[in-house]
Amino acid sequence: MFDSVALNVVISLVFIYLLYSLLATTINEAIAATLSLRAKKLEKAIKRMLEDGVMSHHNFWTFAGDFIAGIFKRLKNFFLLFSFKKQDKSKEAMTLFDSFYDHPGIKYLGENKISNKPSYISPAFFSKALMDVLKEKANDPAASPLKQLQDGIDAIKNTNETKKLIQSLLTDADNDLEKFKTSLEAWFNETMNRTSGWYKRQSQKITFLIGFVLAISFNVDTISIVKKLSNDPNAAKAMADVAAKYIETHKDSTGHLPAVDTATAKMLFKAAKKQVDEDIANANSIIGLGWTIPADTTIKLFTKNALNTKTDSVNCEACLVKIKDCSWRDHSLYLVNDKAELNAVGKARYVWCMSFSSGRRLIGYLLTALAISFGAPFWFDLLNKLVQLRGAGKKPEEVVEKAKK
């Protein structure tokens, strides 16, 4: 049996990464469902298809701008629910993109009027909706379907490249409607393959940010964990045993979470809380993760108007608090009004100071966040292999015991 300290340390670290990756993924999925991130990415992809490749460059500021704009849009849609005014554009004023999303087969795929865009469209629905929109733009019900399509393509305005592409697909199909439909579906599938990559990269960035917040919140410092486990073989073995038991009870899992909608977002947040209360709490207790203020850390109290006049927690009314170990931030003092508030503010101050007072600790958090961004499936697969390696072979006494039974 391969049960070395080094292997136990690696298994323990991978297990911690797995647990926090699952938590980060759960939170990420809940956020994506609440903010309709999949629907927005699909909408951008189709807009790119139907409006000459229009798509904004993605960086932090465009992401933040899109996020804020999305909130205002959802608020606007919410208030429109109570409006009696007709907000629809005229059919003539609609772009090809607007007309596509106004098609009944697409419009009613959304969950509700606040989040009214679908997060998934099948290739068949895409081709049918686009062909229907083109025929409608022809505005000639008496004409043949092929003539309607051709007139609809000719009626496309302000999107010359899209117009040329659709025309070329019809030409390549030799004016065969079935072949044209198949070509539209192939175009859609090709775009969706790239859209999946865009969404995964966005999701990985969000997971990294969530992972960084979790690393600070739970004090999951990779460097400190490795150091602690290396110096405590018993803790490393105990954690590796818990990891092996976890793999055994979750052997049918792959570490993946199914795609969800807003209806199950609350369930995901509850699942995240349950995971924190059970698996993560158990792992944290073994190696002492989390935040506790050491007994030798003193919290200094000063009266509000006299920084040189000390007081105590019993008589603390409108006092200022600072922590001894955080002298680099002594110029930033926190106001507290009573003893209960002192405990909360004191701990928050301690966490803030200790998180950013050491460059080594900050690097440890960044390493944890980077590991979490790899995703739970990666760590689940790796942990499974490591546990199998650890359990390879049996000790002679174990074989004898089994033979006796």
Per-residue pLDDT reduced to its tens digit, 327-370 = 444 434 444 444 455 556 556 666 666 666 667 888 999 999 99
Residue 43: name the closest of 139, 127, 131, 117 by CA: 117
Q: Give the per-residue pLDDT at 66.
A: 58
- For residue 289, being part of any structural domain is answered with no
Task: Give yes or no for residue 33 having a pLDDT over 90.
Answer: no
H/E stretch holding 309: strand 306-310
Task: Give yes or no for residue 87 having a pLDDT over 60.
Answer: no
Q: Are residues 245 and 372 in the same domain?
A: yes
Residue 312: name the closest of 285, 342, 292 by CA: 342
Residue with the larger pLDDT of the pair 138 and 379: 379
Q: Are residues 394 and 324 in the same domain?
A: no
Whole domain around residue 382: which residue ranges?
5-30+206-276+362-404
Residue 169: name the closest of 136, 131, 141, 142 by CA: 131
Give CA separation, 49 vs 42, 86, 223, 355, in Å. 11, 28, 47, 46
Q: Are residues 225 and 271 in the same domain?
A: yes
Compute the average pLDDT of residues 116-131.
Answer: 90
pTM here is: 0.71
**H helical segments located in 218-253:** 222-231, 233-249
What is the per-residue DSSP string for 9-70? HHHHHHHHHHHHHHHHHHHHHHHHHHTTHHHHHHHHHHHHHHTTT--PPPSHHHHHHHHHHH
What's the token pair of residue 18?
């797995």
Q: Give whichever of 169-183, 234-248, 383-397 has the largest mean pLDDT.
A: 169-183
Residue 218: HSE in the Cβ half-sphere, 13 Å Cα cutoff: 27
- For residue 153, being part of any structural domain is answered with yes
Tell me how far apart the alpha carbons of residues 384 and 390 are, in angstroms, rounded to a whole number. 10
- For residue 227, being part of any structural domain is answered with yes
Compute the average pLDDT of residues 189-213.
Answer: 92
Q: Are residues 172 and 143 in the same domain?
A: yes
Tell me how far apart the alpha carbons of residues 324 and 153 are, in angstroms, rounded to a whole number. 73
DSSP 8: H
Q: Give the per-residue pLDDT at 260.
A: 46
Q: Are residues 346 and 370 in the same domain?
A: no
Name the phi and psi angles at 113, rounded to 5. Answer: -75, -20
Give the residue from 164, 183, 200 where a domain finishes.
200
Q: Are residues 310 and 333 in the same domain?
A: yes
Single-letter amino acid, residue 115: S
Q: Give the per-residue pLDDT at 370.
A: 95
Residue with the larger pLDDT of the pair 203 and 34: 203
Task: Give yes or no for residue 395 having a pLDDT over 70.
Answer: no
Q: Give the per-residue pLDDT at 304.
A: 46
Tell me how far apart the alpha carbons of residues 149 and 165 are, in angstroms, rounded to a whole number. 14
Q: Are residues 246 and 316 in the same domain?
A: no
Q: Are residues 195 and 101 in the same domain?
A: yes
Give the residue from 169, 200, 231 where a domain finishes.
200
Q: Are residues 228 and 195 in the same domain?
A: no
Q: Are residues 15 and 149 in the same domain?
A: no
Tell me how far apart the alpha carbons of residues 379 and 15 are, in angstroms, rounded to a whole number. 7
Q: Give the per-residue pLDDT at 269.
A: 60
Per-residue pLDDT reduced to its tens digit, 126-148 = 999 999 999 988 877 788 889 99
Q: Are 392 and 1 in contact (CB under 8 A)?
A: yes
Give the residue from 183, 200, 217 where a domain finishes.
200
Per-residue pLDDT reduced to its tens digit, 287-325 = 777 776 655 454 554 444 444 444 444 444 444 455 554
Residue 239: HSE in the Cβ half-sphere, 13 Å Cα cutoff: 35
- The total domain count for the chain is 3
- For residue 292, being part of any structural domain is answered with no
Tell me how far apart the alpha carbons of residues 366 and 360 are, in angstroms, rounded to a whole number. 10
Tell me how far apart the alpha carbons of residues 343 and 319 are, in angstroms, rounded to a whole number. 13
Q: Give the per-residue pLDDT at 359.
A: 79
Q: Are residues 127 and 172 in the same domain?
A: yes
Compute the average pLDDT of residues 234-241.
Answer: 90
- For residue 16, being part of any structural domain is answered with yes
Q: Are residues 227 and 126 in the same domain?
A: no
- For residue 330, being part of any structural domain is answered with yes
Pairing of strands 334-336, 319-323: antiparallel
What's the token pair of residue 203?
């999701």
